[in-house]
Structure 1
């Protein structure tokens, strides 16, 4: 029970020994423990040591002292789940390296100058007075000011600094937004467009429905049929062909929302990264009364920088002001201030120009290789999300294909509609590996027998 050479105090050794015996069921409720005299004598320890151990066990409710009777087990662990007896050591484990990574989990390291980002982080860390206080629930004022200029300049977002809310990722700001809008709403979105948002909506009891689309995007007839309270759209990837929603359709959608008192949630995912054509103004630019604009920096800057922001219309700002005292900001204050410095320095502008050049070249290479190795497949190109979806004409044995891809160090996008759908994201894979990787995928797929 005790080891006098152990660094742990003797009374703590007794305490832990008795506690473990109770928790694992060796000592059961109402079992009598050795008296202080008996235990101190058998262990050759002072009574004070045993008393200290028993007092601690009594204080935590494991045992109880019955006057003139002694100490008895008070806790009942008979039906307690088994406790893991060992802790798995993950210190030497590493994330698996994929030679051909077509997933959405990374970006091209040639796009971001990490030295500049490290400099901004170091600048904040060296100003210790900034780190010794809680952050603003709405987001750091310096960042919101920088975001106002940035979003206005690059996406034409029409906003005051006071209407910008910062959060740790798009899902985080969606949770907050839904709490402001209320529960039991009907939300309409494009099918398979943003599956994470559906999880949030269901958490608030929202009825989820899917609007119809034509080549221009969401159809007004389908909105009439569904009568949603909320419309979630990504105007950069809409319609049957995944194209940029034209201004005419944006204005029609805005008029419908205004007429029916609905909110438009504009998920402007990577809207500034459109590179085959110049980005057009966001939906919120044309209507700031019914549109909630959401932007993020996961792919624009770094996936590890989990900072998103939303611009609320005035109709929701009153609700936010009332709940703000009860909100804690979960986005890193250090990264918020570093991002503010990065935006104010003008480095983001040059970063985006460089990113557009890199991703334009990679998109061309990806499309060229897929057309070569998958000549009969149907393709969908999502420019701002940086991926090409491939739909084969026949079903295939997906389980065997996935195993073969894993064995060959190939990782594809995980969100698929069916076994015949494959997604190739080119954001993280080096351009010189794109053609070889796609060739290997096609060999693995086509040598598998069709279902």
Structure 2
């Protein structure tokens, strides 16, 4: 393939522009299946960018299946199914309304690639793959080296005192809830969930035919008064950073919830999904730090490190641990063994704590910038919800549009924003709420995205 040269535009990271250009060429058939791409070095030299820029673009293309890398040979275009190819419209047919290109994507759940410790993580993986241990099946409940590191981390960061043997490693929060549900269903038929809340958890509970009972959550906090009027014996909550409203549960509420669980001989499932990123004040102690006998503690590495690593964990109380181990000791782990061992090394070498400290500052700056620019551009036309922590911001929009209209109008300006309606069961808000993730965006993209939203909505 000849050297590639094109002009970059402002407002979008260069790696993203390289990725989008190659993606378009592949989808439009300008790059054919099996065709070899320039090497990382050659492409970087052609475009006059850093090798890290071209590497990140290629890795994104590989992650989405557009290309594949072959050892010592290079990168090659994959064969795409017709469903995923954008065929050029027939000359006799005029396309109705072409989908506008996306300039800024406020997608939550992505990471800041510019600050990702790629070299350190690659070094850990290379060390792990040189060991015989990584070629085995591994412990069905998770590698002990990683469980020991999680034990130390939870005690230092969240005040949770956990035995490594009480920790279960899995691939995701939802997957662990599915397995946990097998055990909880023996004694309980209904579970109380936050409304609004994490819909992925609801689906896991419904899979086991749990009755779903709702606990209304407002911008001022959770309403626990409904608990005593339900038949639930299990409650699933996100007390440190409620998903999606961002409020935190007070100490009094935490104690009341634990007392309820004890009175029902039930359990509280505490999803501490992004407790690392609190920007104002000190975080409240985890529920599991107050009473470990009635709390199942859930954590993961997806929000704070890398979604694709597929690593999560839960700490089981004594009343569930033996039953869980008996039920699942003949099942293989769902988490990647090399990723477990690499993360254990990453934590042992202090890279994890350095990464968290660095990203807390990075994400705090992004949150503050998003709040500032929205306040400047919209003033009282939007209410910002969940400003103290997390990797996204909810905005309640006080304009004469529905959620669908807000999303459509933003898309016409090249901005992708996301709905919140899927998180509500009965407790619907009085105005539409839009979810804005900022973790993967640069400062320039945040500012540009807000300007374009102003143009779209006002």
Contact 1:218 1:239 in 2 (8 A): no
> How has the CA–CA distance of structure 1 residues 220 and 105 changed in structure 2, closer, same or farther, with 3 Å as cutoff?
closer
Q: Which residue of 1 aligns with 2:123?
A: 119
Query: Does residue 380 in structure 1 map to residue 385 in structure 2?
Result: yes
The one of 130, 133, 137 equivalent to 1:134 is: 137
Within 5 Å, which residues of 2 pair with 1:410-429? 410-416=415-421, 420-429=432-441
Among candidates 245, 249, 253, match of residue 253 of structure 2: 249
Q: Map 1:325-340 to 2 at 5 A.
A: 325-340=329-344
Q: Structure 1 residue 223 and structure 2 residue 223: aligned?
A: no
Is the 8 Å Cα contact of residues 246 and 390 (structure 2) preserved in structure 1? Answer: no
> For the Cα contact (< 8 Å) 1:377–1:391, is it kept in 2?
yes
1:241-293 Cα deviation digits (max 9, x unpaired): 74322222211211121112121000001112212222232110011110000
| Alignment counterpart, residue 149 of structure 2, candidates 137, 140, 146 | 146
Relative to structure 2, which stretch is displaced further, 287-296 or 426-435? 426-435
CA-CA distance at 1:122 after TM superposition: 0.9
In the alignment, what sits opposite 1:24? none
In the TM superposition, residue 236 of structure 1 has moved relative to its aligned partner by 1.6
**Equivalent of residue 442 in structure 2, options 418, 424, 430:** 430
Q: Report the CA distance shift for 1:89/1:425 in structure 2 as closer, same or farther (over 3 A).
A: closer
Change (3 A) 1:332 1:422: same
Q: What is the SS of the residue equivalent to 1:190?
A: strand
Secondary structure at 2:135's aligned position in 1?
coil
| Counterpart selection for 1:88 from 67, 70, 82 | 82
Please give the secondary structure, in 2, of the residue aligned with 1:391: strand
> 1:182 maps to which residue?
185
The runs of 5 or more residues in structure 2 that have no matched partner are 1-79, 88-99, 423-428
Q: Report deviation, 1:153.
A: 1.1
Match of 1:60 in 2: none
Q: C-alpha offsets along residues 383-435 of structure 1, whole Å, 9 cap, x if unaligned?
A: 44322212223442655554453454322234436883211111111122212
Q: Give the aligned partner of residue 64 of structure 2.
A: none
| Residue 157 (structure 1) aligned to one of 143, 156, 160 | 160
> Are the equivalent residues in 1 in contact too, given 2:383–2:396 (CA < 8 A)?
yes
In structure 2, do the counterparts of structure 1 residues 87 and 223 end up closer, same or farther at CA, with 3 Å as the change threshold? closer
Partner of 2:299: 295
What TM-score does the superposition give when structure 1 sets the normalisation length? 0.73
SS at match of 2:236: strand
What is the aligned partner in structure 2 of residue 172 from structure 1? 175
Q: 1:214 to 1:256 in 2, by over 3 A?
A: farther
- Quote the Cα distance in structure 2 between the aligned partners of 1:97 and 1:384: 31
**Retained in 1: the 8 A contact 2:196–2:243?**
no
* Mapping 1:382-397, distance limit 5 Å: 383-396=388-401
Distance 2:399 2:412 in 1: 24
Aligned counterpart for 1:260 among listed residues 259, 264, 276: 264
**Structure 2-normalised TM-score?**
0.72
**Alpha-carbon RMSD:** 2.6
Q: Which has the larger radius of gyration?
A: 1
Q: Aligned to 2:386, what secondary structure does the other structure show?
A: strand
Task: Give the direction of change, closer, same or farther, for the CA distance of 1:240–1:388 in structure 2 (3 Å limit).
Answer: closer
Show structure 1 runs of 5+ residues with no match.
1-85, 447-451
**Do the aligned partners of residues 429 and 314 (structure 1) sit closer, same or farther apart at CA in structure 2, a change above 3 Å counting?**
same
Structure 1, residues 137-170: CA drift from partner, whole Å, max 9, x if none?
1011111111111111111122100000000011
1:281 aligns with 2:282: no
Separation in structure 1 between the aligned mates of residue 299 and residue 318 of structure 2, nearest angstrom: 18
Tell me which residue corresponds to 1:62.
Answer: none
Q: Specify the alignment match of 1:367 in structure 2.
A: 371
Equivalent residues in 2 for 1:185-200 (5 A)?
185-200=189-204
Deviations 1:77-101 (A, max 9, x none): xxxxxxxxx95386999xx984312
Distance 1:372 1:116 in 2: 39
Q: Contact 2:104–2:416 at 8 Å: present in 1 too? A: yes
Query: Does the alignment pair 1:308 with 2:312?
Result: yes
Confirm or deny: 8 A CA contact 1:236 1:243 kept in the other structure: yes
